[in-house]
Amino acid sequence: METPTYPPATAFEPPAAAPFELRVDAVSLAELMTAPEAWAVVLKHAPMMKMVVQAPHTKPYLTNFTVESFVAYGVVQPPALKAIDEDLRRLPRSAWPVL
């Protein structure tokens, strides 16, 4: 059996990354904690998050959990998520976590 030959691609479009937005559902707690200004925004609207990230049983999951993950536990309310997102949008790119 002979190996088939294929003509070269004629309409290839290289993939382009979607623009990233700093949001409470897109960045983990661990990443937010690496950026002091971003973390201050979170604590301003959801002060209980400080206690949550210090709890021994949540520390292993900080790279997986987002601020939005804690709505189900009553740690942060949906209106606070909206306020956090608005404040995060105002941060200069230099204040963002290193992703």
Asked, for residue 15, whether it belongs to a domain, the answer is: no
From residue 70, alpha-carbon distances to 10, 67, 77, 85 in Å are: 48, 6, 9, 15
Query: What total number of domains does the chain contain?
Result: 1
Domain extent for 83: 29-93
Q: What is the pTM of this model?
A: 0.79
Helix (H, G, I), strand (E, B) or coil at 28: strand
Asked, for residue 60, whether it belongs to a domain, the answer is: yes
How many whole angstroms separate alpha carbon 69 and alpha carbon 48?
Answer: 13
Per-residue pLDDT tens for 21-63?
Answer: 899 999 999 999 999 999 999 999 999 999 999 999 999 999 9
What is the structure's pLDDT at 37? 96
Asked, for residue 54, whether it belongs to a domain, the answer is: yes
Contacts of 20 (CB under 8 A, 6+ apart): 26, 99
Asked, for residue 43, whether it belongs to a domain, the answer is: yes
Helix runs in the chain, H state only: 29-33, 36-45, 49-54, 78-90
Nearest to 49, CA basis, from 75, 20, 84:
75
What is the structure's pLDDT at 19? 83
How many whole angstroms separate alpha carbon 97 and alpha carbon 70?
Answer: 20
